[in-house]
Structure 1
Amino acid sequence: MSTLSGTRQAWLALSMLDGLGPKGVRQLLETLASPVDLLNLDLTRLRSLGLQGRVVASVLRYRQGDAELQARIDASIAWAEQPGNHLLWLEHPAYPPLLREITDPPLVLYVRGNPEVLSDPQLAMVGTRHPGPHGAATAHDFARCFTEQGLVVTSGMALGIDGACHQGALAAGGPTVAVWGTGLQRCYPHRHRQLAEAIVERGGALVSEMPPDAGPQPGQFPRRNRIISGLSLGTLVVEASLNSGSLITARLALEQNREVFAMPGSIHNTQARGCNKLLREGAHLVETVADVLSVLRVPLRQALDAQPTETAEPRHPLLRWLGYDPLSADRLSMQSGMPVQQVLQGLLELELDGLVQQTAHGYTRVRA
């Protein structure tokens, strides 16, 4: 067995051993040369490291040629040798550097598609699986603009906001990264199979720390959130309720010393209360793409002083204050500092241009 093959097998074994998680392995490797050395330690040395009994037993079972564990390792290696599939362990040169910085990085990443995109500047975009009428469209538009500005949009490919973010990135012609809570042979949700294929075809990547044939497990979805935030410079929560898993991602981003952004929502929208909570706790408020770019300050593919898109910087000053929740002319005057007559004139112009509509409760943008 070559050194590379032996190293790959050792990392796979460590990722599958009972009771030995990423944080524990990382601590052990601070005193040991490699995972191969760890797996070859004798019983006395294993016990001297203070390992739990079940961990020691797992290492011994591996050394004795446990058939079930070896079959799982062999299946993962066979998957990785198929075209387009990749296996990145913690010390692999292509392992994403930002993810390696977190306290409990996955020991092994299974990647389908382009592994290089995992090291590009990324923004995590997450939100509810049950968005309001404008939430998914907003996520799509912002993801498209971020992609046009050179950021890779990363999300969890769930229904709702996540899926809309991936679609927006694809609409801009750029790559996007989807982190799964299942193995990469078990697309979940099933209806996103075509989306998964499109992500791979457009130069993006599907990522999981689970073996390829692993099915959905409830506890794994919160754990995969640390990968979404860990890959990214910051996390933007588009729309989320108070019990949304997106708030877990935001908390993890803070623990990883990454930026957290949130879009404000109506006090009457239960799916926006999680975002409003994050804003009260100090998250960056986001109304435009520029609000995120100015905080991240990363070198992007397009110069930031280039002609901005409509979504990033609206043409008419009133559009800065107008969203998809109705606002009265008086309220717009207060927010913008413009006289009411000037606001009414501007609203009329925008209405004639088909950009704004008047409703019984006020003025809102028109969805393109």
Structure 2
Amino acid sequence: MDRDELAGWLRLLLTPGIGNTTARRLMAAFGLPTDVFAQSPTRLREVVLPQQAQALQQVPPELETQLDSTLQWLATAGAAPRSLITLGDDRYPAALLAMEDPPLLLYALGRTDLWRPASSRNIAIVGSRNPTPQGEANARQFGKACAQAGLTVVSGLALGVDSAAHLGALEGAAEADDRLATIAVVGTGLDRVYPRRNLALAHRIAQHGLLLSEYPLGTPPLAANFPKRNRLIAGLAQGTLVVEAALQSGSLITARLASEQGKEVFAIPGSIHSAQARGCHALIRQGAKLVETIQDVLDELKLSSTPDSIAAHADAISASGPKDTENPLLTALGYDPVGLDALVARTGIATSQLQVQLLELELDNQVARLPGGLFQRIAHS
């Protein structure tokens, strides 16, 4: 793409009052952005409102700066390839074209050489930014199992469930260099990472997966951008798995968008005492498929997998259940958050001794200490 062509795309993107839907209508009528801007005001008013036609006559003041920074970003050599994918490009995902407002541009950082935009083997994994320890472990375990089954995990690079899902996918696809491990759809420009705590994770994703954004370089983490980008997470995936979510969680937006796009929605149930499980329970009541293992997802999506990966995940789920020979305190804990007084009543162990045992289990990463003086057992894969 030469400078003039890129300038046309960026100008259309930056023009006030011209959203994705209007831009698409303009290109359907006139062709490429450079052709759109070659039209007279009269011709433009045949397709858009008068104020929109007037806006198209004005060059956005930030265009030259954005053009220079984009060209410099594309030309900068780094550990991961950089590219710009425009609407109509062969690499543009067909699934996004079916949406009402597909992005004009997708900024891409990472393994575009492994990206198959027409692939249906993508699964979105989303959930709370503040999950319970068990929720975070579930996200990582399912991310790994999905990658081992040959699926690409799509998420949003947020803290909590998103990060755990990306990490699990990177672990599961560690030995498969010929396919994309995970896709992170972000709500900022690709020249910055938000949250900063995920900088190292973003670098790993760029090396073994792909980071995507519809926002121009330099775009800060604006609150309104994150719910909007959720439609792309849902759009890129054949189904969306919600691991943990409160009733007001943004993950439920992704699930709703997936449902509106005709995609499958899955949810992992949790404790009836956990606020972070209520969003998943609400989805299940609304028709989302209850998920216990990766096989539930594969069956619903009619996808195949290797027997070894399915068996490994089933064994991991089974192994997390109570055993006759396990610590009796773990059995007494169950998997719901529980307070110290309740544990004393269940076990008959003196409070001082119980606190010592809980500390030992906490240091061994078998029990997590929660706010409010609660404890929760952690199931590991």
Asked whether the two chains share a fold, i.e. TM above 0.5, the reply is yes
Deviates more, 1:20-29 or 1:187-196: 20-29
AA of the residue aligned to 1:352: T
Q: Deviations over 1:4-50 (max 9, x none)?
A: 55433322221111111111222233333332221111011112223
Q: 1:191 aligns with which of 190, 197, 204?
A: 197
Q: Deviations over 1:198-228 (max 9, x none)?
A: 11122x1111111121111110010110111
SS at match of 1:134: helix
Cα distance, 1:146 vs structure 2: 0.2
Matches within 5 A, 1:202-221: 202=208, 204-221=209-226
SS at match of 1:268: coil
Cα distance, 1:358 vs structure 2: 1.1
**TM-score of the pair, normalised by structure 2:** 0.80
AA of the residue aligned to 2:75: E
Q: 2:39 aligns with which of 26, 34, 41?
A: 41
Name the CA distance, whole Å, in 1 between partners of 2:115 and 2:53: 37
In structure 2, stretches of 5+ residues that fail to align are: 337-376
Contact 2:145 2:309 in 1 (8 A): no
AA of the residue aligned to 1:221: F
Cα distance, 1:70 vs structure 2: 2.4
SS at match of 1:216: coil
Cα distance, 1:366 vs structure 2: 4.3
Q: 2:20 aligns with which of 9, 22, 40?
A: 22
Q: 1:113 aligns with which of 110, 114, 124?
A: 110
Matches within 5 A, 1:1-368: 5-53=3-51, 55-62=52-59, 66-83=60-77, 84-115=81-112, 116-117=114-115, 119=117, 120=119, 121-172=121-172, 173=174, 175-202=181-208, 204-298=209-303, 303-306=305-308, 308-311=310-313, 313-314=314-315, 319=318, 350-352=323-325, 357-360=330-333, 366-368=379-381
Contact 2:139 2:165 in 1 (8 A): yes
Contact 2:243 2:267 in 1 (8 A): yes
**What corresponds to 1:333 in structure 2?**
none
In structure 1, stretches of 5+ residues that fail to align are: 324-346
AA of the residue aligned to 1:314: D
**TM-score of the pair, normalised by structure 1:** 0.82
Matched residue count = 329
Aligned residues: CA RMSD: 2.5
Percent of residue pairs bearing the same amino acid type:
39
Name the CA distance, whole Å, in 1 between partners of 2:222 and 2:110: 24
Name the CA distance, whole Å, in 2 between partners of 1:254 and 1:360: 36
Distance 1:118 1:126, change over 3 A: farther
Distance 1:155 1:307, change over 3 A: closer
Contact 1:17 1:58 in 2 (8 A): yes
Name the CA distance, whole Å, in 2 between partners of 1:73 and 1:260: 39
